[in-house]
Each structure stands twice: as structure tokens, then as C-alpha cells.
Chains A and B, each alone.
Chain A
């Protein structure tokens, strides 16, 4: 998706954003009548990151890992309990209001623009980013055109489909140039065409302006295809950080086998019954992480004999970032999506 040519303009030594010891605990809430008490949650726990100029840096983790909390602290929206955030030489914890003049942020939910037309949402955001009317309108037209939104320009965001609305919010992020884009799950609900529009718009800005991108995702495929580096987040902690390829090398000795049964697993076949305790089950799907020769043996078993009648589909794949996450001790067994 992302044109790798853009990697050439990365500046490996220039740190755009440095995070040190960032910690945030949501306080416990005492239960009222009818609502149970919630314990305190340490949403980010001593997070350290260096994001370099021109890279697409990803935060990958399952629901509740603390990704949004982390980026909200990095964008000055939330005061951390401890730790520092420095973006392009500015201390964001001490001067949170400066963040708005350095970065553009796409929140996970954006409701502020819901009742505006696509065109007015983009224009207003540009004006509030400091552009004058003429500039704001020119950039609005260019961005809507670039993202293929021109036919929808006069429609109200609320009346668009989920993916179209997300794309319109992304458009308003791009009006008024910023050296750092912070995008919290920008492509949620988007079809492949819209996703491609997003990534090529990002790549163009990287190539032309050296724009840096901090991207939150829980989509493994997206992480593997668009990210230069990725920090894997689990329960508020960074459990790994490297290029996607570098991370996958850590589990290079493994093969992932997925078996999909027609109705249910034929547990009367002893080899299948023996596999069960090593499988992660999700409905009719079993996922196994095995050494290559074990994997071959499993495939031979299920494609021959009694088990084959019960088998709907199977795949054999090299490890993905999901396997890395699990191998590193990630707590959520099925928290990441492949789509």
C-alpha cells in the first residue's frame, strides 16, 4: 500500500518526538447503587519512545492496551501523572497548548464535525489551524480532490457512511500543514479504496515535506504494510519496538496453522484431540503456532483420513505481528485483527 520509495527520505538520526517514563493511572471509581465499582487502571506505564523524522511510527495493541491514552498525553489533551513528552524541541507536558501548533490530531471518535458538510468541516478546521479564508479554501479543495471526496463535499458528515465520515475527518486533519500527524485508528470502517487514498496522501506528505506520522492501530495487516517501525503495547507497557520485519524475525522459527472445521472439531480422531490444548479456539477456527516439521505433520493428519471430512479450510502461514505479540507474552489472546 505504502510506496516504500518514501523510506528514502527518512532521517534516521533526527528525533521528532521523545517520550520518557510516561505514566497515567485512571483513578478507581466507587460503585454507586446499581453500578459496580471499577478499580484503578494504569493505562500507560513508563512508556518510552523515540519517533524519527519522516517515519510512520505505529502503536499496535489490543483494545484497552492504552494506545489512545498514550497519544492523548502526547497531544497535550491529557496531563500525564509522570513522564515527559518532547516534540520538535517543545515540552508538551509543561506547555500542552503548543501541541496544537506542531501537530494535527485525528481522534478515535470525532463528533465535533458531525453536523457540518464535508467541505465546511475541512474549511473550518483549516481556519482554526491559522489559515486565512483563501488559503483554507484552496487547501480544502486540494485535499478533498486528493482523497476523492469532492462528490461528497456538500453532504453532512452525519449522513455519510462510517468509512466516508472517517475519510472526511482525515481530510480535515490535512488542511493546514503540520510536521507531525497523530492518527488514532484513521482507517476504521474504510474500504480498500479509501485506505489507499489515506496512505498515498500520507506518503505524498512524507516525500514532499518530511512529515512524520504516529499511527494507532490494532490491525496487524495494516501495521505490517504501512509502518516503518512499530511499538507493541500491552496493558500500558511497550513490550517490543522494531521494524515489522525485525519483530517477525523473533518468531521466525514458527509457522502458523489455521484449521477451520465444518461444524465442530472431530475430537474422536486422537491426533486432533491431542492438538486441542495447543490451539487457540475461536468458534470453528483453531489457530496453532508450531515448528515447521510439526506443522507439516499436522497438515498431513488433517488432510488425510477421518479428520479431512470434518475440515472446511486450512491455511499455513509465516508468522505475523500477531504471533510476535503473543510470543512476547501479550495478554489478549485474540485482541488483534487481521483485515
Chain B
């Protein structure tokens, strides 16, 4: 099979007109603005999550409830019970926001689905934040169920459960940013899934088990995990007289990590969109 040189072809293979070209210029179409496109992505993601992810949300909730029941035999109230309940509740967020979002972006990237967004004039942050927000809000029912069940099981007060209104979005932001970044940076989708699973396991082991019994190195790893601060903030509110300054401090760390991890995810999206 020979390569036919262009110049010997009948009629000429060049697709270019020889005469002077009159190139027309056009106004660029409008850019989609950040907020409206974020809302559009959020709505779309929420609807697809509803269709595709409800069974997985059940899995996440059952997993956390199962852990609570298991730990009931080991832990007998006090501050350890507080960590277990807070850890299990935040675990639902980790499962959905970290694990499932890493899988979603990993698959989207591998299957060419990012092309769809990359050929629309939408800010990268809108795609990442919209998806992250949808996954995070999808965790709300599971987290609530787990928290209430845990409080009842361990006899903890339900008084300050409202703090979840801050814990879920902030821990959700931190974990979903991480999950999205995993999915977008992993060279292969299976690797994204593995990273998501590992992150989830870390959240499980380091978040649910009471920290006092951990060796020094593991406690250091626990401090590095963004979900830890959500767990701590939530756990502190079970006390008779919570130290709100410390709660706020933990939430602020969570928020800071959230901003950083979402920024990393946005950068990863840009990188993945143009190959």
C-alpha cells in the first residue's frame, strides 16, 4: 500500500482555494455566566443522581448504620460514642462525595464526556461546583438518618443536630473537591475508582474509630484528612456545654480545605478538558 503523494493526484488533493480568501470574522457568542451555569449543572446532576444513585445512597446509609450497631458492642458511651456517631454520619458524605464523584469524573473523562462541557462556553468552576454540590446535597438524607439513629442508639442528645447544616456542606465541599480531583487526574478510570475507595476507607478507619486509641502516626494521618474536622466539629456538639469556638474553628478548617480542594478540582478539570 503506497502513500500517494498529494502533488501527483488528479485534480489536486489540496482542499484550499488558490485565490485570495475573504475570511469572515464573527462576534463570539456569549459566555455562560458562573452562577446560572452552576445552577444548571447542579439541577442536571441532581436529576441524574436521583435516577442513578438512590440504591447507592441506601448502601451508604446501611453501611454507616451497620457500623454504629457494630460499635455499640465495643464502645460504651462517653466521648468515644460521640466520635463514633459523628464519624458514621460524615462517612455517608465521604461515600457519596468522595467515592462516587471520583468514579463519575473518572468515567466521564475516559468516555469523552468531558468534550461535551469543554465545547460549551461554561466556566470550569461551574461544572465542578455544580457536580460537587449535587453530590453533596444528595448525602443529606443519609447523613440525617445515620445521625439520628446513632444518637438514639448511644443515648446522645439530638439538641444540636442542626450543626449538620454546616457540617454537610463544608465537609461535602472538601471531600467532593478531593473526589473530583481524583477522578479528573487519575490516568485511568479504574485508578480513579481505586483512589475514591481508598479515600473512603481512610474516612472510615480514621473518622469512625475513636482517636485516643490510635498510634501517633495514624493520628497524624487523621489530622490530614479533610473529613476529620467535620467529624470533630459535629462530635463536640454532643457535650452538655459545647465549646462553640472550637466547633467554629473546626468548621473553618473544613471550609479552608474545601476551598483549596475545589480549586484543585477546577484546575484538574481545565487540564483534563484540553488534551
* Residues of chain A having any CB pair with chain B under 8 Å: 13-16, 18, 20, 48-50, 53, 72, 75-79, 86, 88-90, 96-105, 107-113, 115-117, 120-121, 123-125, 127-130, 132-133, 156, 176, 178-179, 231, 235, 237-242, 246-247, 250, 328-329, 331
Interface residues of B in 73-90 (CB under 8 A from A): none
Contact B11 A107 (CB under 8 A): no
Contact A128 B29 (CB under 8 A): no
- The listed residue (B28, B41, B126) touching A98 by CB distance below 8 A is B28
Interface residues of B in 23-47 (CB under 8 A from A): 23-26, 28-33, 36-37, 40-41, 43-44, 47
Contact A77 B118 (CB under 8 A): yes
CA distance A237 to B119 in the complex (A): 25
Chain B residues with CB under 8 Å of A104's CB are 119
What is the interface of chain A mostly: helix, strand, loop, or mixed?
mixed
Contact A237 B51 (CB under 8 A): no
A72 to B, closest residue via Cβ = B115
CB of B151 within 8 A of chain A?
no
Q: In the complex, how many angstroms separate the beta carbon of A71 from the nearest chain B beta carbon?
A: 10
Chain B residues with CB under 8 Å of A127's CB are 32, 36-37, 40
- The listed residue (B13, B32, B112) touching A128 by CB distance below 8 A is B32
- The listed residue (B15, B112, B120) touching A109 by CB distance below 8 A is B112
CB of B161 within 8 A of chain A?
no
Chain A residues with CB under 8 Å of B9's CB are 239-240, 328
State whether A240 and B112 are in contact (beta carbons under 8 Å apart), knowing that A77-B119, A98-B28, A102-B28 are contacts in the complex: no
Chain B residues with CB under 8 Å of A99's CB are 119
CA distance A114 to B98 in the complex (A): 22
Contact A242 B121 (CB under 8 A): no
Contact B26 A241 (CB under 8 A): no
- The listed residue (A72, A112, A246) touching B116 by CB distance below 8 A is A112
CA distance A53 to B1 in the complex (A): 36
Chain B residues with CB under 8 Å of A238's CB are 6, 13-15
Chain B residues with CB under 8 Å of A130's CB are 29-33, 121
Contact B44 A116 (CB under 8 A): yes
A53 to B, closest residue via Cβ = B24
Chain B residues with CB under 8 Å of A88's CB are 23-26
- The listed residue (A18, A79, A121) touching B21 by CB distance below 8 A is A18
What is the interface of chain B mostly: helix, strand, loop, or mixed?
loop
CB of B275 within 8 A of chain A?
yes
CB of B114 within 8 A of chain A?
yes
CA distance A240 to B111 in the complex (A): 32
Q: In the complex, how many angstroms separate the beta carbon of A232 from the nearest chain B beta carbon?
A: 8
Chain A residues with CB under 8 Å of B3's CB are 235, 237, 329
B39 to A, closest residue via Cβ = A127
Chain B residues with CB under 8 Å of A97's CB are 121
B115 to A, closest residue via Cβ = A107
Contact B24 A125 (CB under 8 A): no
User: 7 closest pairs, A vs B, by CB?
Assistant: A89-B25, A241-B15, A115-B48, A112-B116, A130-B30, A88-B26, A112-B113
Contact A242 B116 (CB under 8 A): no
Chain B residues with CB under 8 Å of A328's CB are 4, 9, 13
Chain B residues with CB under 8 Å of A176's CB are 29
**A88-B24, A130-B31, A329-B3 provided; 9 other pairs, C-beta below 8 A?**
A50-B15, A50-B21, A76-B274, A89-B26, A111-B111, A120-B47, A128-B121, A241-B14, A329-B4
CA distance A239 to B7 in the complex (A): 10
CA distance A298 to B31 in the complex (A): 63
Q: In the complex, how many angstroms separate the beta carbon of B103 from the nearest chain A beta carbon?
A: 13
State whether A89 and B23 are in contact (beta carbons under 8 Å apart), knowing that A124-B43, A239-B4 are contacts in the complex: yes
Contact B41 A128 (CB under 8 A): yes
CA distance A156 to B47 in the complex (A): 10
Q: In the complex, how many angstroms separate the beta carbon of A26 from the nearest chain B beta carbon?
A: 11
Chain B residues with CB under 8 Å of A129's CB are 29, 32, 120-121
CA distance A93 to B132 in the complex (A): 31
Interface string of B224-262 (1 = CB under 8 A from A): 000000000000000000000000000000000000000
Q: In the complex, how many angstroms separate the beta carbon of B207 from the nearest chain A beta carbon?
A: 30
CA distance A50 to B18 in the complex (A): 10
A159 to B, closest residue via Cβ = B51
Q: In the complex, how many angstroms separate the beta carbon of B239 from the nearest chain A beta carbon?
A: 43
Chain A residues with CB under 8 Å of B25's CB are 88-90
Interface string of B163-178 (1 = CB under 8 A from A): 0000000000000000
Chain A residues with CB under 8 Å of B108's CB are 111-112
Chain A residues with CB under 8 Å of B274's CB are 76-79, 96
CB of B159 within 8 A of chain A?
no
Contact B118 A100 (CB under 8 A): yes
Q: In the complex, how many angstroms separate the beta carbon of A323 from the nearest chain B beta carbon?
A: 13
CB of B217 within 8 A of chain A?
no
Contact A76 B119 (CB under 8 A): yes
CB of B194 within 8 A of chain A?
no
Chain B residues with CB under 8 Å of A239's CB are 4, 6, 9, 13
Contact B31 A231 (CB under 8 A): no
CB of B67 within 8 A of chain A?
no
- The listed residue (B118, B121, B275) touching A79 by CB distance below 8 A is B275
A210 to B, closest residue via Cβ = B24
Chain A residues with CB under 8 Å of B30's CB are 101, 130
Which of B13, B17, B31, B111 is most buried by chain A, counting CB atoms within 10 A of its CB? Answer: B13
Contact B10 A111 (CB under 8 A): no
Contact A101 B44 (CB under 8 A): no
CA distance A15 to B114 in the complex (A): 29
Q: In the complex, how many angstroms separate the beta carbon of B125 from the nearest chain A beta carbon?
A: 13
CA distance A151 to B17 in the complex (A): 45
CB of B22 within 8 A of chain A?
yes
